């Protein structure tokens, strides 16, 4: 196809073969229930189902579907949907389909499959079968009781200095055990388990599952998660033993700021950990048996885990190991009967998202000995998790592992920035051969591991870095011709994993690690490009609601373990995460249910701000008002013009008030709450008017004249159309004033990048992203970053480290620029009119000397790809559009834009329609399939980046 620029037309040819027979080309993949593959322990009575479609055909759509849900695999094989048979439903919906079959009882496992009809009315084959299993839906389903060690724990007396508080009053892990008989072969066995604390369960000598730090972090006063495991293969007829290891976890261990600020060293939720376990066994002879935690279990605290704390680390004494403690034949005479706890108030809920588990292993790249006997392993990558160490030596030797993100000039590890989080593991050898140490209930942020106490130099291969995080699937890939940008993408990816630890944390290393809301707010869209956040948000948004104050304030961090009505609540941009993150869940996953559950909570937040500020300028009730955190005014580098980077607080806060209000209106509309939509739409208009009256000068200047002010005002659509060009001009002037650099902080940097590009200044955006001088992404990388740093200058070669009081090398806020990389470099953008990537935009904007870029995003509707290459002044673009979706493709073109088929310009291509020319782009509407385009680069696209 080759058409003059002014009137490019592409006839839409529907290239479907005769509409007969089966749609062989159409494959159904990725069957999921509540976002998870074959989940156990689903506690929604009406779970939501989804699948993706794969087809090579152009313009393929689903015209109808049929779902069968059956009570057994056999019934499903015979196409008997005895729980639910939807029949043929005319619909193109493939996500968020609400189960509406027979009510499902606790513990029921059902099997399902789906087939679809294509655009031509041909039916596909049935999908592969999938299943889900219901959790324990009602309180009465739980026979298990909370059990723990009997001994009274003395109250914690805070030490004089918190700095030296390592393991102060730490307690050994509790070991628990119960023997039981199984009279016949087991047909199915399911274990439901939880803890006030953190647990590992063992059955007959084998570890159950691979979860780390289960049941993870929630507000334990309100909501505690349980996990469900299929343990059929671990049981056998006869004697069986269930054992558990119970640590402090987030419940009874140390938490960020609990000591210095709240004078509570540990045990913020409760001092003593407890376990809950219920094993449901179905025998082949039809009999059922339940083994539940109760007063018949026995416990000891004499085992090898002498202490294990998320911040402190672990002390393990291998001499205390009790081989066989979790299997039959073990003599547990010295163990004591357990304490049984009276009922707890919190509600038990099934964990809705992917557990924390090991997602990668790293081998060290170097081993140094900066001082005799001090061995420092370099993992080559700042990572989060812990180490597995193979060692041997005489009994009673204690080997110490200290973790750090960096080293000093002398090669010794740099730990000052960890503040009060020691990150130290200690292992005492039992002696007599090879031993392996791996901790249980802690985690560390580190690149370097210092090992001392070994008699001789270990081998490099003795240590393995076990990387773990909430295991949301990774869905984004990005590479391009600029190695610095590739490193930046990898740094963002590593930092995303590092801070996805049951809650979205600020950092994984120092004594903080809280679910800071401002950080995830800025990072939320990038987070969705990097990992499938649907289930994670489904877990965390209730955490946000649990942390909301009685008068509607959202917390600064969620969960909020302290007195939320008093401290750390109601802060602009942090509290607004309670609105902005659900919006991201809507935009990317079309999660209507999440909005239905959350809308009233969001309204309470808006009403709180309005109540405090009837004139609609947010001056009162701004909590801790961190403002645009770590903007230029907080940078203390010699010679840096530190004044003028900070947007005034009332301007900043009012912009967030407006933005959140607008989003509440949009979300209300999305779920049919029209009256709310209208009301908050009107309130947004009123805030905008008040904002303009109070702050915007006739020439578009904002108080403070900051880059951040213009970036946010443009991004939140707060300026009248005629002032937008002026605001852009002021923003560019602001960048020039800072010698071509940014002065923005955590919250506004991504907005600045997106708005430069949106408003015709893509060249400036490219200049910023490719800069290597302070402050810039390139500067961090030049100085050795392998993750995103909290500060642009966390470490500078020749100068050294920033202020250790706040110098994390693993903070994701400045990594939010990954959103710009996806939206601008490869141009993959969601469309809010069609949430869940049902329709989207591909609008690459080459620039910065980059000659090719390649990205893939596995959306909830399937894989989207955008790849481009510049060759001899021509841009070649290849895209993949998932079946049953459509996209608008912008091709930066000067002259003739072509659609290429089989390597040649095609006269016509099915699935493609030329729409118009717009700002130097040929704009096409495309259906599903893979397409290639080519065009001479437009002036804009080459020099200004489109
Ligand atoms: C955290 C930040 C957080 C902030 C609030 C810091 O200590 O590390 O990332 O958002 O506090 O200003």
Give the model confidence (pLDDT) of 464-505 as tens digits.
999 999 999 999 999 999 999 999 999 999 999 999 999 999
Give nearest CA residue, ligand 1 atom 12: 626
The reply to whether omega before 775 is within 30° of 0 (cis) is: yes
Question: Residue 765 above 70 pLDDT?
Answer: yes
Question: Residue 268 above 70 pLDDT?
Answer: yes
Overall average pLDDT of the 201-227 stretch:
98
Closest CA to 462 of 488, 436, 496: 436
Which is higher by pLDDT, 264 or 205? 205
256, 518, 558, 813: residue to mutate for ligand 1 pocket, most atoms within 8 A of CB? 518
What's the confidence (pLDDT) of residue 162? 53
What is the number of H-type helices and E-type strands within the chain? 16, 50
Report helix, strand and coil shares of the chain as percent, to nearest 5.
Answer: 25, 30, 45
CA of residue 655 to ligand 1 center, whole Å:
20
> Closest ligand 1 atom to the C-alpha of 790?
9
256, 626, 816: residue to mutate for ligand 1 pocket, most atoms within 8 A of CB? 626
What is the CB neighbour count within 10 angstroms for residue 100? 10
Give nearest CA residue, ligand 1 atom 5: 626
Q: Encode pLDDT of 696-719 as tens digits.
A: 999 999 999 999 999 999 999 999
Q: Token match 């290849």: residue? A: 878
CA 343 to chain centre: 33
Query: What residues contact residue 2 under an 8 Å CB cut-off, 6+ apart?
Result: 896, 898, 905
Q: Which of 405, 450, 512, 755 is catalytic?
A: 512
Show the tokens assigned to 110: 């059902």
The pLDDT confidence band at residue 804, using thresholds 50, 70 and 90, is very high
> Closest ligand 1 atom to the C-alpha of 574?
10
d(CA 280, CA 182): 11
CA of residue 505 to ligand 1 center, whole Å:
10
Burial class (CB in 10 A: 0-12, 13-18, 19+), 102: middle
Question: Residue 267 above 80 pLDDT?
Answer: yes
Q: What residues pair up with 463 in beta bridges, in sequence order?
A: 389
> Closest ligand 1 atom to the C-alpha of 808?
8
Give nearest CA residue, ligand 1 atom 6: 506
CA of residue 809 to ligand 1 center, whole Å:
13
Active site residue 512: yes
Q: Token match 């900070």: residue? A: 646
d(CA 575, CA 507): 19
What's the confidence (pLDDT) of residue 642? 61
- Following DSSP, what letter does each residue of 505-525 receive, concatenated? -S-SSSS----BHHHHHHHHH
Q: Token match 């000068």: residue? A: 697
d(CA 595, CA 597): 5
- Cβ proximity of 899 and 927 under 8 Å: no
Which is higher by pLDDT, 184 or 4? 184
Q: Which of 646, 790, 819, 898 is catalytic?
A: 790
Q: What residues pair up with 853 in beta bridges, in sequence order?
A: 480, 868
Which is higher by pLDDT, 810 or 164? 810
CA of residue 640 to ligand 1 center, whole Å:
23
The length of the chain is 946
Give the whole-number percent of the chain exceeding pLDDT 90: 87
Give nearest CA residue, ligand 1 atom 9: 506
Which is higher by pLDDT, 20 or 698? 698
CA of residue 214 to ligand 1 center, whole Å:
26
Overall average pLDDT of the 251-276 stretch:
87
CA of residue 506 to ligand 1 center, whole Å:
7
d(CA 33, CA 588): 17
519, 746, 794: residue to mutate for ligand 1 pocket, most atoms within 8 A of CB? 519
CA of residue 746 to ligand 1 center, whole Å:
10
d(CA 760, CA 945): 9
Give the whole-number percent of the chain exceeding pLDDT 70: 94
Active site residue 339: no
d(CA 438, CA 425): 9
Q: Encode pLDDT of 833-892 as tens digits.
A: 999 999 999 999 999 999 999 999 999 999 999 999 998 889 999 999 999 999 999 999
Show the tokens assigned to 471: 């295991």
Of 157-171, 177-191, 337-351, the poorest mean pLDDT is in: 157-171
CA of residue 516 to ligand 1 center, whole Å:
7
What's the confidence (pLDDT) of residue 167? 57
- The pLDDT mean for the chain works out to 93
d(CA 77, CA 73): 6
pTM more than 0.85: yes
**Any idea what DSSP says for residue 104?**
-
255, 257, 499, 506: residue to mutate for ligand 1 pocket, most atoms within 8 A of CB? 506
Ligand 1 pocket (Cβ < 6 Å) reads 506-507, 512, 516, 518-519, 626, 629, 811
> Closest ligand 1 atom to the C-alpha of 806?
7
């Amino acid at each position: 196809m080759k058409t003059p620029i002014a009137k490019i037309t592409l006839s839409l040819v529907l290239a479907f073969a005769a509409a007969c027979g089966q749609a062989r080309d159409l494959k159904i993949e990725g069957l999921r229930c509540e976002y998870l593959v074959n989940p156990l322990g689903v506690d929604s009575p009406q779970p939501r189902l989804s699948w993706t479609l794969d087809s090579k055909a152009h313009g393929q759509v689903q015209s109808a579907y049929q779902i069968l849900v059956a009570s057994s695999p056999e019934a499903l094989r015979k196409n008997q949907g005895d729980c639910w048979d939807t029949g043929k439903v005319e619909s193109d919906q493939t996500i968020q389909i609400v189960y509406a079959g027979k009510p499902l009882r606790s513990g029921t496992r059902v099997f399902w499959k789906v087939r679809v009809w294509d655009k031509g009315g041909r039916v596909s084959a049935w999908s592969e079968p999938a299943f889900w299993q219901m959790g324990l839906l009602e309180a009465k389903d739980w026979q298990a009781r909370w059990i723990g060690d009997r001994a009274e724990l003395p109250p914690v007396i805070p030490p004089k200095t918190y700095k030296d508080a390592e393991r102060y009053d730490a307690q050994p892990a509790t070991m628990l055990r119960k023997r039981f008989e199984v009279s016949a072969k087991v047909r199915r066995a399911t274990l439901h388990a939880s803890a006030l604390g953190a647990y590992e369960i063992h059955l007959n000598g084998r570890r159950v599952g691979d979860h780390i730090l289960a049941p993870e972090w929630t507000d334990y006063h309100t909501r505690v998660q349980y996990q469900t495991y299929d343990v059929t293969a671990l049981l056998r007829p006869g004697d069986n033993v269930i054992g558990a290891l119970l640590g402090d976890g987030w419940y009874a261990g140390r938490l960020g700021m609990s000591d210095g600020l709240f004078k509570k060293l540990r045990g913020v939720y409760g001092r003593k950990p407890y376990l809950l376990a219920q094993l449901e066994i179905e025998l082949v002879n039809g009999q059922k048996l339940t083994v539940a935690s109760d007063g018949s279990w026995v416990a000891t605290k004499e085992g090898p885990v002498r202490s294990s704390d998320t911040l402190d680390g672990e002390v393990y004494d291998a001499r205390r190991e009790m081989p066989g403690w979790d299997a039959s034949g073990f003599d547990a005479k010295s163990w004591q009967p357990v304490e049984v706890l009276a009922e707890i108030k919190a509600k038990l809920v099934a964990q809705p998202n992917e557990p924390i588990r090991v997602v990668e292993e790293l081998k060290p790249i170097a081993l140094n000995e900066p001082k005799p006997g001090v061995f420092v392993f370099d993992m080559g990558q700042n990572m989060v998790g812990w180490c597995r160490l193979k060692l041997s030596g005489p009994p009673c030797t204690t080997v110490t592992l200290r973790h750090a993100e960096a080293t000093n000039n002398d090669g010794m590890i740099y730990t000052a920035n960890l503040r009060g989080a020691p990150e130290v593991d200690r292992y005492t050898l039992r002696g007599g051969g090879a031993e392996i140490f791996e901790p249980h209930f802690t985690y560390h942020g580190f690149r370097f591991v210092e090992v001392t106490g070994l008699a001789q130099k270990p081998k490099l291969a003795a240590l393995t870095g076990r990387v773990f995080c909430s295991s949301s699937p990774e869905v984004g890939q990005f590479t391009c011709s600029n190695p610095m940008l590739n490193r930046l993408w990898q740094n963002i990816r590593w930092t995303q994993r590092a801070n996805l630890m049951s809650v979205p944390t600020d950092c994984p290393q120092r004594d903080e690690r809280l679910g800071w809301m401002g950080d995830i707010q800025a990072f939320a869209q990038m987070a969705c490009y990097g990992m499938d956040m649907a289930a994670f948000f489904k877990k965390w948004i209730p955490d946000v609601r649990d942390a909301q104050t009685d008068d509607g304030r959202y917390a600064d961090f969620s969960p909020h373990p302290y007195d939320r009505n008093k401290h750390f609540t109601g802060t602009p941009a942090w509290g607004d995460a309670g609105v902005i993150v659900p919006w991201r869940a809507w935009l990317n996953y079309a999660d209507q249910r999440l909005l239905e559950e959350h809308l009233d909570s969001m309204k309470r937040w808006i009403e709180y701000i309005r109540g405090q500020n009837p004139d609609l300028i947010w001056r009162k009730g701004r909590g801790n008002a961190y403002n645009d955190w770590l903007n230029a005014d907080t940078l203390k580098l010699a010679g840096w013009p530190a004044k003028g980077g900070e947007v005034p607080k009332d301007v900043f806060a009012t912009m967030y008030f407006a933005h959140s209000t607008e989003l509440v209106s949009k979300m209300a509309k999305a779920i049919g709450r029209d009256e709310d939509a209208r009301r908050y739409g009107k309130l947004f208009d009123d805030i905008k008017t008040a904002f303009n009256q109070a702050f915007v000068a006739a020439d578009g200047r904002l108080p403070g004249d900051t880059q951040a002010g213009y970036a946010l005002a443009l991004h939140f659509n707060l300026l009248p159309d005629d002032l937008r060009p002026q605001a852009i001009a002021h923003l560019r002037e602001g960048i020039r004033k800072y010698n071509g650099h940014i002065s923005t902080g955590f919250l506004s940097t991504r907005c600045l990048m997106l708005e430069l590009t949106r408003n015709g200044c893509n060249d400036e955006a490219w200049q910023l992203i490719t800069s290597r001088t302070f402050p810039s992404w390139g500067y961090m990388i030049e100085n050795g970053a392998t993750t995103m740093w909290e500060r642009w200058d966390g470490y500078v070669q020749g100068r050294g480290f920033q202020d250790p009081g706040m110098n994390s090398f693993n903070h994701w806020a400045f990594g939010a620029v990954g959103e710009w990389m996806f939206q601008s470099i490869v141009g993959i953008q969601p469309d809010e009119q069609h949430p869940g990537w049902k329709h989207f935009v591909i609008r690459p904007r080459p620039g910065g000397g980059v000659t090719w870029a390649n990205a893939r995003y596995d959306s909830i509707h399937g894989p989207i790809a955008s790849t481009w290459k510049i060759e001899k002044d021509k841009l070649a673009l290849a895209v993949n559009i998932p079946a049953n979706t459509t996209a608008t493709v912008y091709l930066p073109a000067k002259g003739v834009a072509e659609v290429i088929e089989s390597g040649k310009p095609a006269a016509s291509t099915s699935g493609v329609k030329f729409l118009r020319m717009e700002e130097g782009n040929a704009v096409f509407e495309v259906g599903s399939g893979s397409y290639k385009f080519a065009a001479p680069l437009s002036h804009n696209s080459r020099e200004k980046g489109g």
